[in-house]
């Protein structure tokens, strides 16, 4: 994630802190000073936040280590002011495994809450009369409360919370995954509406959360349907092999004329058939402003994407569109086509309309290997 600071590794997984997290710490400090709190109170608030985020890291680590049991690596764990994010390579699709990976996070907080409760019991905390004032000003009860809130919040059965995935996994035991996702998303949206209405009267923060939950439900259902539609299809099925490209030494004005007259937004730059890189619209305008229209095309190359192998599953390449909308496909060192979000969309459309999209024949794969 952009704007994240690498702070080390935990169990071999990169640990990052998003810079907005420091704004949160800063905000806590400022509001403590503004409220005229004694320094001890502000320090305790800092300590509580740091402990809270330690709990969040352990929660994410729970997901990551459970996923590792099933051979799924985790790219990194990032700490944001709104919580943590463990970027698993993918979610397991078997319902039992998905349930356990999703449940492992909240389970860590249940365990932490248990340990803190035990500690409080051993030190005789519960022997005194428990007042709300005591709970509010006691460091450890605050941490206990924090863990309980993390558990309750995360098991709300709506995407993107862990509870949404747990619900989907349970539904997937009795129906197919796409259907299970749709039902889970419907339940999530119903909860989002309730949350929003509740928020209107009691808490504005809940309104924002409900919008986010509503949006996530739709996004999850959409991504699951797309994955199902693209299952079994490879890059070769999605590639466009009628496209325009320029030679490395052609002038930038020629590139812009080509883009204008063909409507193709990303232009590959080649030299003797082999790909040097891709010029995106923004790269082109920046290069013309900087170097003038007579500069050679290669000077405007903005991305040098890794070429796709024609036999990669289409599902695996979708995240790459965030960097460049035209992903080049390379076979035997030659550029043979481009995969774009539009070409993938077209493939999905054909499949959805029951057009016979058979995976293209794969004989060539054997002689290539
Ligand atoms: Zn979680």
Distance 60 CA to ligand 1 centre (A): 6
- Contact (CB, 8 A) for 348 and 229: yes
Distance 342 CA to ligand 1 centre (A): 33
State the average pLDDT over residues 216-241.
86
Tokens linked to 152: 């309750």
pLDDT digits (tens, 9 = 90+) for 330-343: 988 888 899 999 99
How sure is the predictor about 125, in pLDDT bands with cuts at 50, 70 and 90?
confident
The yes-or-no verdict on residue 368 having pLDDT over 60 is: no
Which run of H or E residues covers position 166?
helix 162-171
**CA 28 from centroid of its chain's CA atoms:** 28
The residue count for the chain: 369
Measured CA to CA, the distance from residue 231 to residue 157 in angstroms comes to: 27
How sure is the predictor about 85, in pLDDT bands with cuts at 50, 70 and 90?
confident
How sure is the predictor about 364, in pLDDT bands with cuts at 50, 70 and 90?
very low
What's the pLDDT score for residue 244? 92
State the average pLDDT over residues 295-301.
92
Distance 168 CA to ligand 1 centre (A): 15
Distance 153 CA to ligand 1 centre (A): 10
How sure is the predictor about 100, in pLDDT bands with cuts at 50, 70 and 90?
very high
Which residues in 81-211 belong to E strands, given as ranges?
A: 83-88
DSSP 255-269: HHHHHHHH---SEEE
End-to-end CA distance of the chain: 35
Distance 138 CA to ligand 1 centre (A): 26
Distance 154 CA to ligand 1 centre (A): 6
Distances in Å between the Cα of 112 and the Cα atoms of 62, 125, 164 are 12, 17, 22
State the average pLDDT over residues 58-84.
86
How sure is the predictor about 366, in pLDDT bands with cuts at 50, 70 and 90?
very low
Provide the whole-model pTM. 0.71
The yes-or-no verdict on residue 296 having pLDDT over 90 is: yes
Summary mean pLDDT of the chain: 85
Distance 208 CA to ligand 1 centre (A): 19
Q: Domains of the chain: which residue ranges?
A: 1-155, 159-230, 235-363
Distance 28 CA to ligand 1 centre (A): 25
- Share above pLDDT 70 across residues of the chain, in percent, rounded to a whole number: 95
Comparing C-alpha atoms, which of 50, 95, 56, 46 is closest to residue 77? 56
Distance 179 CA to ligand 1 centre (A): 23
pLDDT digits (tens, 9 = 90+) for 235-278: 998 888 899 999 999 999 999 999 999 999 999 999 887 889 99
- Contact (CB, 8 A) for 57 and 85: no
Range 235-363 classified under CATH 3.90.1580.10: no
Q: Are strands 74-80 and 13-18 parallel, antiparallel or unpaired?
A: parallel
What's the pLDDT score for residue 363? 46
Burial of 26 (0-12, 13-18, 19+ CB in 10 A): exposed
Distance 198 CA to ligand 1 centre (A): 24
Tokens linked to 336: 């043979």
Question: SS3 of 312, please?
Answer: coil
Distance 64 CA to ligand 1 centre (A): 10
The yes-or-no verdict on residue 81 having pLDDT over 70 is: no
Q: Which residue has 């305008």 as its token pair?
A: 285
Distance 33 CA to ligand 1 centre (A): 33
Tokens linked to 69: 């049991």
Distance 4 CA to ligand 1 centre (A): 20
């Amino acid at each position: 994630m952009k704007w994240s600071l690498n702070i080390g590794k935990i169990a071999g997984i990169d640990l990052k802190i998003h810079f907005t997290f420091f704004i949160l710490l800063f905000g806590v400090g400022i509001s403590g000073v503004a409220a005229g709190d004694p320094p001890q109170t502000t320090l305790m608030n800092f300590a509580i936040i740091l402990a809270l985020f330690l709990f969040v890291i352990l929660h994410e680590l729970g997901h990551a280590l459970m996923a590792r049991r099933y051979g799924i690596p985790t790219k990194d764990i990032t700490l944001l002011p709104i919580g943590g994010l463990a970027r698993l390579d993918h979610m397991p699709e078997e319902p039992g495994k998905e349930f356990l990976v999703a449940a492992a996070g909240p389970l860590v907080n249940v365990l932490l809450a248990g340990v803190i409760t035990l500690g409080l019991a051993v030190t005789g905390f519960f022997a005194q009369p428990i007042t709300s004032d005591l709970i509010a000003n006691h460091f450890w009860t605050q941490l206990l409360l924090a863990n309980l809130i993390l558990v309750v919040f995360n098991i709300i059965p709506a995407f993107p919370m862990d509870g949404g995935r747990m619900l989907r996994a349970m539904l997937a035991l009795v129906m197919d995954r796409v259907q299970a996702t749709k039902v889970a998303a419907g339940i999530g949206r119903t909860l989002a509406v309730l949350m929003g209405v509740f928020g209107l009267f009691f808490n504005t923060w809940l309104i924002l959360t409900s919008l986010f939950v509503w949006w996530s439900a739709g996004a999850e259902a959409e991504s699951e349907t797309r994955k199902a539609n693209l299952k079994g299809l490879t890059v070769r099925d999605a590639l466009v092999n009628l496209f325009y490209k320029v030679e490395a030494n052609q002038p930038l004005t020629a590139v812009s004329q080509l883009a204008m007259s063909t409507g193709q937004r990303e232009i590959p730059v080649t030299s003797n058939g082999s790909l040097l890189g891709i010029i995106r619209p923004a790269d082109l305008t920046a290069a013309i402003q900087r170097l003038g229209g007579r500069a050679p095309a290669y000077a405007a190359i903005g991305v040098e994407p890794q070429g796709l192998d024609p036999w990669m599953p289409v599902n695996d390449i979708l995240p790459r569109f965030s960097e460049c909308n035209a992903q080049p496909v390379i076979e035997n060192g030659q550029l043979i086509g481009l995969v774009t979000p539009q070409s993938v969309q077209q493939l999905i459309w054909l499949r959805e309309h029951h057009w016979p999209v058979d995976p293209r024949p794969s004989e060539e794969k054997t002689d290539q290997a």
